[in-house]
Amino acid sequence: MDAQILHSGFDGLRFTIQTEITPELRKELFNAKAHSRKLGNDCDLQFGDTVLSVTKNGGRNFNCRTGELGAVWMFQDPEDRVPNNPGITVDFRAFGLATSGLDHAEQHFRETMTALAIPYGEHQIRVSRVDFAVDILAPWFEPDRHSLVAPPGTKVTEYTGIDETATQATGGRVTGLRAGAVNNRQLAIYDKREEVMQKAKDGWLEIWNAKRKDCGQEPIDLINRDLSQVWRFELRLGQKQLRGKFEMHTWKDLRDTLGDAYNDALSRLRYCIPNNDSNRARWPSHELWRIFEGTISNDLAEHCSGVLPDQVIYANRIAKMRELDRQLLGLFVSRAAISDVSSDEFYDFMENHVQALQGYSEEHPKMLDERLERASGRYRWT
């Protein structure tokens, strides 16, 4: 059956930065937020070529926007912080990502941080979410949760309207399917045409029709669903995948490894054509899934380094062992110094002191098995 890719690219990108805004910026944001609440409209602040629209919302944050092609910026109030929350969260807008991609997003981020004179280092940046979407014109398709093959325990939800986020479909046409958790790995298949019509997101129609024009085809007429049904296949990776499994933090990490993370996710999820085989792993992949999978692999090929999750886990484990070994050595040096042990006697001191440590372990009120189990729980390698 006919299917056409109308768009593919990043649809969501979120970073956090472990830093604080300056007192001068905090004062301007505080006054702008108060002004916005008074008038009921956003208040614009100009910083060189950067315009920051400050909203009245945010509670203990200052919520701002830098345009439809920019980002939503959330700044913690340094004088009224939420404990353990990052100082800055940047959520890039979908249209900016769709039309200009990753390069534009990074450029916008760095230019805005410079314009606002916010101090930060690369080590303070954390990527926390990436969404990649493929829009496919396929009027004959309708998602079916039984066609989805996912890891055991994955929550799968069907819904019948764009505002139903966690409701099982009980009647009517199925308009969406979602599997997984957004902070880990989530697949969403949904009716993008309906969303465009109901939420007046005509920018997507412009993007789709630009593709149609390049192919020498007529524009899409959304009035006729039989000819204009567009399904979005979207794969979202959260911090458990990006940082937990693949150790991505910075913009460079994202560029180097994102393709590997997506290839790993695609190997664990599939939308299939069910048959009588009791082994779902042998079900053939659906035509639209093959299109989706191939598009992601091709588009993100430049962001692959060939790294696998188990390699990252092994490297992290070895690094932690070395870190603890260095701490142990430092403690032995301090203990030897207190005992007036010379450098010539140090290694004999370390060897002989093991007996004392064994004695302390045997005298401990809790069994060694219990202490080892508790210590193991502090380190998760999967």
69 lies in some domain: yes
Question: Is 125 inside any structural domain?
Answer: yes
Domain boundary among 306, 334, 357: 306
pLDDT at 366: 84
Kind of pairing, strands 71-76 and 88-92?
A: antiparallel
For residue 364, count CB atoms less than 10 angstroms from its CB and return exposed for 0-12, middle for 13-18, buried for 19 or more.
exposed
- Give Cβ neighbours of residue 138 (< 8 Å, ≥ 6 apart): 1, 2, 3, 4, 229, 230, 231, 288
Do 348 and 302 share a structural domain? no
Q: Provide mean pLDDT across the span 317-329.
A: 75
Cβ–Cβ under 8 Å, residues 280 and 149: yes
* 211, pLDDT greater than 70: yes
pLDDT at 169: 41
Per cent of the chain over pLDDT 70 is: 91
Look at residue 318 and tell me whether its pLDDT is greater than 80.
no
Identify the helix (H) or strand (E) that includes residue 159. Answer: strand 156-159
Q: Does residue 381 lie in a domain region? A: no
Q: Are residues 234 and 333 located together in one domain of the fold?
A: no
Residues 340 and 290 in one domain: no
Q: Does residue 185 register a pLDDT over 80?
A: yes
83 and 205 together in one domain:
yes
Q: Please tell me the distance from the alpha carbon of residue 134 to that of residue 262, in angstroms, as a whole number.
A: 14
Residues 101 and 178 in one domain: yes
Residue 152 lies in a domain: yes
Confidence at 3, pLDDT banded by 50, 70, 90 = very high
273, 291, 306 - which closes a domain: 306
**212 shares a domain with 270:** yes
Q: Do residues 208 and 348 both lie within one domain?
A: no
For residues 380 and 370, what is the distance between their CA atoms, to the nearest angstrom? 17
**Cβ–Cβ < 8 Å for 36, 42:** yes
Is the full-model pTM beyond 0.85? no
The answer on 368 and 248 residing in a single domain is: no
The reply to whether 209 and 358 lie within a common domain is: no
Task: Let me know whether 194 and 329 are in one domain.
Answer: no
- Whose tokens are 């502090």? That residue is 378
How far is 79 from 87, CA to CA, in rounded Å?
11
Picking from 259, 291, 306, the residue at the C-terminal end of a domain is 306
pLDDT in tens, 56-77: 988 889 999 999 899 999 999 9
Q: Residue 382 domain-assigned?
A: no
**How many separate domains does the chain show?**
2
Q: Is 204 inside a domain boundary?
A: yes
Residues 213 and 354 in one domain: no
Do 13 and 157 sit in the same domain of this protein? Answer: yes
The string of pLDDT tens digits covering residues 293-311 is 999 999 998 887 665 555 5
The CA-CA-CA angle for residues 4, 101, 90, to 5°, reads 125
Cα–Cα distances (Å) from 316 to 256, 321, 326, in that order, read 18, 9, 15
Does the pLDDT of residue 249 top 80, yes or no? yes
Domain hosting residue 25, numbered range: 4-306
Q: Is residue 48, in this structure, part of any structural domain at all? A: yes
For residues 250 and 130, what is the distance between their CA atoms, to the nearest angstrom? 13
